[in-house]
Amino acid sequence: MALFTLGIEEEFQSIDPETRELKSHMSKLVEGGKVILQERIKQEMHQAVVEVGTNICENIQQAREEVTYLRKMLVDLAEKQNLKIAAGGTHPFSDWQHQLITEDDRYDKLIDEMRDVARGNLIFGLHVHVGIDDRDEAIKILNEASYFLPHIFALSVNSPFWCGRNTGFHSYRAKVFDKFPRTGIPEYFNSATEYDAYLNLLIKTGCIDNGKKIWWDLRLHPFFPTIEFRICDVPMRTDETICLAAIIQALVAKIHKLRTQNLSFRKYRRVLINENKWRAGRYGIHTKLIDFGKEEEVPFHSLVDELLDFISDTADELGSAHEINYIHTILKNGTGADRQLKVFEETGGDLKAVVDYMIEETKFGL
């Protein structure tokens, strides 16, 4: 695998067009989609969740083509089953207790181990893989890229509602997932050998059976030569997904470039980065994050300018500047959470109207 190739996975909601509730009907979508999409469509633990994932993409333009195609195919498959597809980190009002679980040995074991923590994990994320052949280099990049996770997260927030409640968070998905073990900001490791020793200890002691049960916001993938960013809510629009993927790719390329010049970005402790993650999940792009070097709060928009300056050279080299510039549209129009909340307020608290809006936004640009 070449450096900085991309793989993008998006998780979507299956919606009943009459009630606007989640509908546990994804098995038929997956069965129908397998003929055309093969391994690019997957069923998840909850039957109301479907995941689509791109092939390995050489650049962000190819990634856009794949993401657009997969979304369009999924929308078309759903229409044939009298269903709708929506992109949001949580469903605004459906209760996890009423959703069916997919019959599968892997999911049975997970529920046997985690009980309602697993059953209640009815959330929808975006995962972005960036190709890195050298695992030691990947660990070094992971250590330095962790600082930027809250910045990226704040741009993706798209889950203000949970079980019919306005939670006050812009990403309640992250709070739901916090109940799982081995989640959140990743630990620091000096080498791939040290990381493997940690994994092997967990496997040896029966904590996990493989490295896929490390569910950090950023992880070294156990089976693919990639680092995987897992912190984002699934965005409503394709443009948002592609913008986030382009930022992530350029960031990884920038840190790698510095390392080839015998330079590095400063590493920060997990406990500090967690402070910024909390703020990003609570307020989205309307927050102030902490600049730990300056030891002061900085408005998010100023930090975006600094991030764009930091990755501008690698964005040009990767040919992704145009895709990254969509960040200004996100800042102007608001994140998915901002837009959901606006519909909620304008309709007097009508959560069905919010779902209708999510359905239309998911199809935007297709």
The domain limits of the chain are 6-362
Pairing mode, strands 288-291 and 226-233: unpaired
- Find out whether 265 and 147 touch, Cβ atoms under 8 Å: yes
Q: What is the mean pLDDT of residues 349-358?
A: 98
Q: Taking the chain, what is the end-to-end CA distance rounded to the nearest angstrom?
A: 29
Residue 264 CA from chain centroid, whole number: 26
What is the model's pLDDT at position 261? 96
CATH of 6-362, one of 2.60.40.10, 3.30.590.20, 3.20.20.70, 3.40.190.10: 3.30.590.20
Tell me the C-alpha to C-alpha distance, in Å, between residue 83 and each of 49, 66, 87, 343: 13, 22, 14, 22
DSSP H helical segments within 38-148, as ranges? 60-80, 105-114, 116-119, 135-145
Q: Of the candidates 158, 302, 169, which has an alpha carbon nearest to the alpha carbon of residue 244?
A: 158
More confident position, 47 or 191: 191
Question: Does the pLDDT value for residue 164 go beyond 90?
Answer: yes
Adjacent-strand bridge partners of 14? 85
What pLDDT does 1 receive?
45
pLDDT at 314: 98
pLDDT in the model for residue 46:
80
Q: What is the mean pLDDT of the chain?
A: 94
Residue type, 328: H
pTM: 0.96
Per the listing, tokens 């992530």 go with 248
Where does the pLDDT of residue 173 fall: very low under 50, low under 70, confident under 90, or very high at 90 and above? very high
Q: Using CA atoms, how far apart are residues 216 and 203, in angstroms rounded to an integer?
A: 17
Rounded Cα–Cα distance for residues 159 and 92 (Å): 8
Are residues 105 and 198 in contact, defined by beta-carbon separation less than 8 angstroms?
no
Taking alpha carbons only, the member of 110, 93, 92 closest to residue 101 is 110
pLDDT score of 27 more than 80: no
Question: What's the pLDDT tens digit per position in 236-282?
Answer: 999 999 999 999 999 999 999 999 999 999 899 999 999 999 999 99
Q: What is the rounded average pLDDT of the residues 187-193?
A: 96
pLDDT digits (tens, 9 = 90+) for 49-72: 999 999 999 999 999 999 999 999
Task: Indicate the pLDDT class of residue 131, thresholds 50, 70 and 90.
Answer: very high
Hey, which residues does 215 pair with through a beta bridge? 183
Quote the pLDDT of residue 33: 60
- At residue 42, the pLDDT reads 75
Q: How far apart are CA 204 and CA 235, in angstroms?
A: 38
pLDDT at residue 28, as a whole number? 63
pLDDT at 41: 81
Average pLDDT over residues 200-218: 96
Tell me the Cα Rg of the chain.
Answer: 19
pLDDT, position 43: 76
Average pLDDT of 213-231?
95
Cα–Cα distance, 267 to 285 (Å, whole number): 23
pLDDT value for 101: 85
DSSP H or E run through 339? helix 336-346
Q: For residue 279, what is the enclosing H or E element?
A: helix 270-283
Lowest mean pLDDT segment, chosen from 21-35, 103-117, 215-229:
21-35
